[in-house]
Chains A and B, each alone.
Chain A
Amino acid sequence: MFAHLSASLVDGLLIGFVYGIAAMGLSLIWGVMRVINLAHGATMALGMFCIYGLFTKLGINPYLGVPLAALLALLFGFLIYGVALHRVMQSGYLYTLLATFAVNMIIIGVGTTLFTTSPRNVDFSLGSLQMGSEILLGTRLVAAVASVVITVALYLFLYFTRTGKAIRAVSNNRAAAELMGISSTQVLALSFGLGTMLAAVAGGLTATFFPFTILSGGAYQLKSFVICVLGGLGNPLGALFGGLILGALEGIVPVFMPVSWVPVVEFGLFVLVLVVRPTGLMGAK
């Protein structure tokens, strides 16, 4: 029983790191821009396809492919902001949300035409590590480590660079930040780009161990919502914590009840946390 529990817990936590990265992007976008990004999942799927394309067509190692995908995603994020979001930034969250939903439809529509919905698999392995009765996969370990590195980098960026401070300032009070001479348009575009980049990176890392289709992003997007709420909406660093909680839940819950009940528990908890403690389990702010 104990061995089973610890094995499931470790598996869950490892995957939780990657969930955390995806949610971090969503949380950053919400925190700075007050936008619920419904194109987040689609962007993740694009990240997966980017890694897949680079790996199978050009033979580029997935871990070299991830930074490349990140750069492309950053530019893509700027593009989405400029075309779809900038005009409605002042109109309230319903409009920005619909705008991102429209972007989602466009990505999925074009993606289905280009790639069809047939599943892809990046056949790439780093072997596995045997620890007692537990088997840890190389790709998952690397993904977890990469997630921690990215989180630290994001923290350093947000707290110790001028641009990062500007992002936090806009997040706290956009009007005041503008009075201080911060160009909020640049900051908003940058935040959206960063959020999109995190989605693509999470997608790329996931692609190294899970098969996927152009529609796969949807499931991760829903998970990201749950994580954001667990970690505190608009608190990007809390998202990693939320991801770990979700991962742990997915590991532990099946030990005690049928696996198909996991989503009931997850989303039930999600609603409960929102109602009881909308600032998240960490509950800072």
Chain B
Amino acid sequence: MLNFLVTFIPRAIMQGIPLLYGSTGEILTEKSGNLNLGIPGIMYMGAISSVIGAFYYETFTPKGMMNPVLAVLIPLVCCLIGSFLTGLLYCFLTVSLRANQNVTGLAITTFGVGFGNFFGGSLIKLSNAEVPAIVLGGTSGYIKTTLPFANKLGWFGQVFLSYGFLAYLAIVIAIVASYILKRTRTGLHLRAVGESPATADAAGINVVKYKYVATCVGSMIAGLGGLYYVLDYSNGIWSHNAFGDRGWLAIALVIFTIWRPSVSILASILFGGLYILYLYIPTGTEMAIKEIYKMFPYIITLLVLIIVSLRKKREDQPPMSLGLPYFREER
């Protein structure tokens, strides 16, 4: 049993980290009243931007000349820029041009997923590099660097210390986001904007600014999830559509955790575990059952959504103005 847990938990955590990034980003966004359905696309944008950065650095740097600091910084900065710009586009369309949030979000997802898969599949051809596939082993090696003594600590090291720095960063970001939302004035203002923008506006809070900042920062955090998936979890190998529906799973997590990033830390690990549970459950010859296991996260989320709406507890409800546009002139 212990052996099983020691191998299962790290895999579940590694599956959960991209979801944690995605859900933390989306929670911040939704707290400002923006229901950003573009998160799946934004996570692809983050992933492919980091891959493009790392690819150019790795392919056009002579072997063995890579600088560890640059190898980590370049993809990181590219990822942040890529996802920031996508988030900015969403904000520009929904906040400044007052477009419908659902439609804009879906368009962002179409664009982002397409952008990711297109450049993931065509980067080699476009850059005329002489490599057979996108394998960013070098970059991935640096990003995955763990503490040197992690594997000397037995099961403790394996369960808690065997991850690259991005995994810990995700947890730190989630805790900080929770703290800001709950304990600071900025968080209070942000929640006010999401609950009732008209009231917030009357109280002198700059609604537009809060919406922009929360959505763009949220997008950047979500983008990191894409980076983690490609450069850490998949060892820097891009394969078509490999990221799959994790972006939607991240949105499911937002509901599951009832808009609390700190809860998301454990919840994302739970979802990650559910995502790979089928690998560990003896199915015998019945291969089909694993597809049913993959359904669990969605069913559980659905149940949470229903229960929350049945109980009508005020602190568990979605932000009041979620999905609704705000025009000062239309009051």
Instruction: Tell whether A and B belong to one assembly.
Output: no
Chain B contacts to A: CB under 8 angstroms: none
Chain A contacts to B: CB under 8 angstroms: none
